[in-house]
Amino acid sequence: MQMPDHILDPANGLPAELETLMAQAITMAGEPMIAIIQPATAAIIEGNGRLVSGDALRTAVERFGARPVSLDLTFSRAITAGWLAELTAGGQLTITTPDGGTLYSGDLPADHGWRAAASNAAKQRKGLIIITGARGSLTDLVPAIEQNRTRWSRVHVIAPTPNR
């Protein structure tokens, strides 16, 4: 298990650093995907010191059906019910979890080719893969996959057709 940056009691709230996730448009295994980058990790403990979660974000997405990313990058599962990724023409992204919560809301830097592929996935109702577990920057994604820290879900996507 990776050492967490923070050890939290949920009754005390989250440090601001943990509330700010980043999203990156990526392409892996021939599919457009979104990597959610967390600036830090947090273990959750109860007031009595019992460990609830070694990684709060991983536990949260697993609760909604996310699974480990395999080393062979097989993403064969259908859309996970209740998830939604909504992309705007202006480069904004909102990811909603099955309980109606917001996993991410903010910018999504992406080039025209990625946006076209995401729009095509929306039209074909294939959904987009959301990957969590990378820490600090996108350069941590491959090590995170190799260390079994990443989780993925295929989510329903609403995406506009990009302008040329």
| pLDDT tens-place string over residues 104-122 | 899 999 999 999 998 888 8
Average per-residue pLDDT for the chain: 81
Could you tell me the two tokens for 65? 């059906």
Check pLDDT > 90 for residue 98.
yes
pLDDT for res 131: 93
What is the percentage of the chain residues whose pLDDT exceeds 90?
28
Q: What pLDDT band is residue 155 in, cutting at 50, 70 and 90? A: very high
pLDDT for res 134: 83
Predicted TM-score (pTM) of the model is 0.80
Distances from the Cα of 156 to the Cα of 50, 54, 95, angstroms? 36, 28, 10
- Cα of first residue to Cα of last residue in the chain, in angstroms, is 45
d(CA 122, CA 136): 29
